[in-house]
Chain A
Amino acid sequence: MSVTIKDVEHISDLARLEFSEQEKEKFTHQLNDILKYVEKLNELDTSNVEPLSHVIELQNIFRADKVKPSIPTEEALKNAPAKTEEFFKVPKVIG
């Protein structure tokens, strides 16, 4: 599998990133290098191997649904780049 500039454009769209033409070329080249390297994994037959998503045995943790103090609105808005009253302010969503 080899990555083209078109793929890089598609991925950057998914990742909400944008690049100059020069950066796109560089990334295409570097991603291909890395992907070529990771294709090493195809040497291994893993058809009977269970995927490992967590390294220690985890169990779902339940707790009582009790109201506890949480971060006050003022604190939660403290780092907002723009705010109005008690809301985060962003550019319009629908044109």
Chain B
Amino acid sequence: MTWTYRALVVAVFATCLHSGPNTARADFAEGQPWGLEFGFGWGRTRSSDYIRTLEDFGYTRDSRTGFRAVVAASRRVCRYFEILFQFNTLDDQNFARSAGIGVDDSFKFSTLAFGIHGRAWFPTPNDRFRAYAQLGVGSSVAITRLRTRLSQDAPRTEFRDAQWSYNITSLLGIEGMVSKHVGLFLNGGYVFAPVPKNLFGQRHQSGGGLVLVGISAHFGRTR
């Protein structure tokens, strides 16, 4: 966590205090202290001891989705730096196991991440394209759902659980402004979110690499 904090401090210094007075524009993002972003994309996670244990216990993967979504709200704190509250969907997998007689047992987990991010903008000759680096820390939660039968005649019982952990997110992106206040963005990076966890202490890394595209809006009035 220490390196994340240091990187964040460096980013703030680099952008707020030493952001290249030669290239900095006095009207960069003028009148745009607030922002909203919506995006979607694709992500990929690796297998893990957690998944292998499920397979050892007779589960086979029914489906997994690489779909990722992001929602973020931002507030510019100085000319080239903004703070975001960001929400990401992460890994989502479904498993099934033959229960012998009747409907199969099933297990599903869906992981979400949210946190505070710092985004450093790189000065560009004009405002049409903007590049940025982003780093964030926060919480991640895996919603797990096990459906199994506890007696021969009863229907399956569902056991839901929410498991919490942290996440560290790093992204690089570019934003192309289609108007003064609206842009389209493309970013990609890596999320580390070690959740869910089983009773053996094995964790699945629900983050992994991701690529997102979306729309952003910048608005507000500076004083």
A, B in one complex: no
Binding site for B on A (CB under 8 A): none
